[in-house]
A and B are shown apart, each in its own frame.
Chain A
Amino acid sequence: MIAPTLTTDRLTLRALGPQDAEAFAAFYADDRSSFVGGPMNAEQSWRTLAGEIGHWTLNGFGRWAVTETGSDTCIGCVGLWAPLGWPEPEIGWDLFEGATGKGYATEAAEAARSYAYETLGWDTAISLVAIGNDASARVATRLGCTPEGTFTHARLGTLTIYRHPKVGG
């Protein structure tokens, strides 16, 4: 399955593709990615990108490339994420260098959440935030989430579970 395109006031969320390999490599080369499984080399980040795309086929949903409408440059990766072993489907957001501080994560995550609730029929969702990732925790709070315990992942360590408000909530 290929990701449908979503639009918000400022952003276009489109399917990830080969054109995003460089943006992924740059993000995952940086220490900023340490909260989401990085840093990693370009070979590993290429496989991560391929895995993001394959997630759509395996689950029928996944994450999008976030672009500023009018530009095709991938400035982040936001969407719905549930690899095998995940506690339950989550809404995740990674904003790349230079794209933070503008409310883009919140705006893109809201679009992804609306897609999950309205198109996929989810009635709840979580987001997992690594301990110490304060910027991400603030996004969760802005989205109306409340913390409810932790989940420990073999690779990513201990993550705080944030619960999203229910549909219409």
Chain B
Amino acid sequence: MGHRDIPVLRTRRLELRGPQAEDYPNFKATFTSYRARFMGGPLNDYESWMLYAAEIGHWEIRGFGMWMIHDRETDHTLGMAGGWQPAKWPQAELAWMIWPQVAGKGYALEATHAARDYFYRQAGWENAVSYLDPKNLDSIRLAERLGACRDRDAQSVDGNDVVYRHPSRAELDNTRLAHGIEMEIEHYADPTFKPKGFALD
């Protein structure tokens, strides 16, 4: 599968689609800013555009890649999430980034949960990791909310990142962990939602 046929994923609030030219301005705004300090940035204008082109080419080379996250109501872009495995990556990574002005609304959780589900159920992934900067506490917290755990034995990209290993497909198949993630997403989508009993342990 190449970027000719990037699948579209829909969640309660979001639609994930392949990156397009018209989506570039928000990508650039994020990658040329301090927000990108844990993602290899900030980049200059040329580097930012070339990285965006590479995000698209990644789909063609690997058959998977990063989706652009759209708000289903407004169609505005909110960030990107999906799979990422450029040269030198020990294995396929689940990655996410949210534009700074829309952070804190659970979009990364909702999008990455959907992307992970797609890779497990449709693309045959057996497992997944995320390579995180140890200073990027927001992303580490998100990895933990997704059920991922620090894997000290896994090979990192370059020794400056920490590896979080995601729960396997079986560990997310109708389990309490999966229900908990879905409840958290539900709470973001509908803040008046009151779950009828969280797990107590």
Number of interface residues of A (CB under 8 A): 26
Interface flag for B70 (CB, 8 Å): no
Interface flag for B44 (CB, 8 Å): yes
B88 touches A43 (CB 8 A): yes
A52 touches B57 (CB 8 A): yes
Interface flag for B188 (CB, 8 Å): no
A47 and B50 CA atoms in complex are apart in Å by 8
Q: Is the interface of A mostly helix, strand, loop or mixed?
A: helix
B55 touches A54 (CB 8 A): yes
A17 touches B50 (CB 8 A): no
Q: Chain B residue with minimal CB distance to A155?
A: B46
Q: Chain B residue with minimal CB distance to A83?
A: B49
Interface flag for A154 (CB, 8 Å): yes
Q: Is the interface of B mostly helix, strand, loop or mixed?
A: helix
B2-42 vs A, Cβ < 8 Å mask (1 yes, 0 no): 11100000000000000111001000000000000000000
Contact A50-B86, Cβ < 8 Å, known A55-B53, A84-B45: yes
A45 and B130 CA atoms in complex are apart in Å by 23
Interchain Cβ contacts within 8 Å, total number: 93
Contact A153-B46, Cβ < 8 Å, known A42-B87, A58-B24: yes
B56 touches A54 (CB 8 A): yes
Contact A57-B88, Cβ < 8 Å, known A83-B50, A84-B45: no
A46 touches B3 (CB 8 A): no
A47-68 vs B, Cβ < 8 Å mask (1 yes, 0 no): 1111111110111000000000
B61 touches A84 (CB 8 A): no
Interface flag for A29 (CB, 8 Å): no
Tell which of B24, B55, B57 has the most Cβ of chain A within 10 Å.
Answer: B57
Contact A57-B56, Cβ < 8 Å, known A17-B61, A47-B87: yes
A53 and B46 CA atoms in complex are apart in Å by 16
A21 and B60 CA atoms in complex are apart in Å by 12
Interface flag for B164 (CB, 8 Å): no
A52 and B3 CA atoms in complex are apart in Å by 13
A154 touches B51 (CB 8 A): no
Q: Chain B residue with minimal CB distance to A42?
A: B87
B21 touches A46 (CB 8 A): no
Contact A50-B58, Cβ < 8 Å, known A2-B4, A57-B3, A57-B20: yes
Interface flag for A98 (CB, 8 Å): no
A109-146 vs B, Cβ < 8 Å mask (1 yes, 0 no): 00000000000000000000000000000000000000
Contact A21-B61, Cβ < 8 Å, known A47-B87, A57-B3, A84-B45: yes
Contacts from B to A (Cβ < 8 Å):
2-4, 19-21, 24, 44-47, 49-58, 60-62, 86-88
Can you show 26 pairs from A to B with CB atoms below 8 A apart? A17-B61, A21-B87, A42-B87, A43-B86, A45-B87, A46-B87, A47-B86, A47-B87, A49-B57, A50-B53, A50-B55, A52-B57, A53-B57, A53-B61, A54-B56, A54-B60, A55-B57, A57-B3, A57-B21, A58-B24, A83-B49, A83-B50, A85-B49, A154-B44, A154-B45, A154-B46
Contacts from A to B (Cβ < 8 Å):
2, 17-18, 21, 42-43, 45-55, 57-59, 83-85, 153-155
